[in-house]
Amino acid sequence: MELLSGADMIARFLKDEGVEYIYGYPGGAALHIYDALFRQEDVKHILVRHEQAATHMADGYARASGKPGVVLVTSGPGATNAVTGIATAYMDSIPMVVLCGQVMSSLIGEDAFQETDIVGVTRPIVKHSFSIRHPSDIPTVLKKAFYIASSGRPGPVVVDIPKDMTAPTERYEYSYPRKVRLRSYNPAGRGHTGQIRKAVDLLTSAERPVIFAGGGVITGRASEALTDLAHRLNLPVITSLMGIGAFPQNDPRSLGWPGMHGSYESNMAMHESDLVLGVGVRFDDRVTNNVSKFCPHARIIHIDVDPSSISKTVHADVPIVGAADSVLNEMLNQLGQRQPAEPVSLDDWWAKIDGWRDERRGKLYEPAAPGEPLKPQQVVEAVHRITHGDAYVVTDVGQHQMFAAQYYRFNQPNRWISSSGLGTMGYGFPAAMGIKLSYPDEHVVLFTGEGSFQMMMQELSTCKQFGIPVKIVNLNNASLGMVRQWQDLNYKSRHAHSYMESLPDFEKLIEAYGFRAITVHTPEELDAALEETFRSKDELVFLDVHVDPREHVYPMQVPQGAMCDMLLSKTERT
């Protein structure tokens, strides 16, 4: 049996757990751990320039890989700087383990230098938290943390580590725990067979059914089973913003995503449906709009691994607690060779859906004429063409996020990476870095805006140090676009503090960090600039595209309306 200090146990455990990268920023309470990481070569530490960036890097990696991202920060301000990233992961059910240095255990509660009760601070925004009480507990606690973070409904786990727990002078027996037992934590596996049978009966008898698939399909690795079910019964599929890519968007059964800025046909189909099969969704308010008017004709089947999510917002007529992949596969087994009971009605339903599609075909936006300011939509479509729809697409938050979700088409899971629940500006750049670091042979594209990018632009220094060549497409409208849109609609265009004045010269800024920037003003310049930007996967390029600041994101749901109540343009509404 090997004798190791608490700090060396952490480094060894991370290696044994298969962790390749840990993202963090050093400080006094974490220095024993940093020294242990320095003395080994298997786990690589990425030094960010702000702790929030460390959490977003870990988050981006976790979304792309399905594995927990790992963060290391020091006590006090180091830990509190990570809070926004922890909340971002919590809202979107992303697996993450955050190791926080803490003051010595004898000083806890004494208002010691850089002391913060990070367990208390983060309690509402973590799946679980631990505080190390003895160095010998470290391997078991870390194993529990990784298991809890990645099983059931995933989420962030905080591990608080007082400095004396990692002292190099104290050594204890270390062995890597192969298994973990938690009496009070038993995430659901298989769903109830009887409930699944009820769901199958409803699916095969419905006249206007839709599948509504969320992020739980992606984290639960259930995309293949979902696709099989949709093909077997010829069902329309709508994904939530988090579920984009769970079902191929080039499939004719795909209706896109619903809600605040969802597609016309997806919102209309959900409103008119008589049955909604919700899989791994939480029926967020950005989808439902006014819950009292949500899907008024539909019965709801709700599959979720988290029992607390079922009937939390929308009443489930058939609740099924279980892992998405397991439940969907059992549904497929029960279906056997069964066909819809009313195939003629289903044909009528598809005719209606196709009619909604035809209504909006060619009316989504008006491309810019030569010499006019570019429309952000056409920039996203151009990026889709040049990457053949095969990039990891990361966004910040705002109009550019919605345009990217609407106009970049995704046919695989884990390729759309965006802060959906918390809506964190500044998320995109470090998240893209975390993905590119682990997937160096793939195109990783960040769609951002000048507001979001300035929140984390210091991470250009991290990219320089570690050679992280992401592609950055800045849809520059010189304003906080989504705020400005709401001000146009609700505040008679009183643009209170939504203009981004005194913007930097992005070309000079990017060049100061040693990278290349290209500026685009007109449609004629766009294709050549994209060719140059995406010529190599090994070079960070910042593409500063000046777009029409007057452009709005449509459709847009009317607040407190039903799903079918939408603004379709500045002059049209349903």
Q: Quick check: bond before 168 cis, omega within 30? A: no
Place of tokens 């010499």: 371
CB 199 within 8 A of CB 320: yes
User: Distance (Å, rounded) from C-alpha 416 to C-alpha 394?
Assistant: 6
Distance of CA 11 to the CA centre of its chain: 28
Could you identify the residue written with the tokens 């849109």? 485
DSSP symbol at 154: -
Structural contact between residues 377 and 407, judged by C-beta atoms closer than 8 angstroms: yes
How many whole angstroms from its chain centre is CA 240? 11
Q: How far apart are CA 536 and CA 539, in angstroms?
A: 6
Q: Which two tokens stand for residue 134?
A: 């003895």
List the structure tokens of 558.
């009317």
For residues 227 and 334, give the distance between their C-alpha atoms in angstroms, rounded to a whole number.
16
Tell me how far apart the alpha carbons of residues 501 and 503 are, in angstroms, rounded to a whole number: 6
Residue 502 exposed, middle or buried by CB count within 10 Å (0-12, 13-18, 19+): exposed
Annotate 224-247 with b (16+ C-beta within 10 A) or e (fewer): ebbbebbebbbbbbbbbbbbbbbb
**C-alpha closest to that of 32 among 68, 3, 4:** 4
Which three-class secondary structure state does DSSP give residue 444? Answer: strand
Distance CA 561, CA 570 (A): 18
Name which of 57, 56, 63, 105 is nearest 83 in CA terms: 56
Place of tokens 């990784």: 146
Instruction: Report how far residue 285's alpha carbon sits from residue 421's, in angstroms, rounded to the nearest whole number.
Output: 10
Any idea how long the chain is?
A: 574
What is the set of active-site residues?
Answer: 51, 113-114, 163, 482
> Which has the closest alpha carbon to 47: 70, 73, 23?
23
Report helix angle 6-16 to 31-38, nearest 10.
Answer: 50
- Give the three-class secondary structure for 394: strand
Q: Would you give the DSSP letter of residue 498?
A: -
Give Cα 114 distance to the centre of its chain: 31
Phi and psi dihedrals of 485, rounded to 5?
-60, -45
Tokens of 112: 């010691």
Task: State how far Cα 454 lies from the chain centre.
Answer: 20
> Which class for 561: exposed (0-12), middle (13-18), buried (19 or more C-beta within 10 A)?
middle
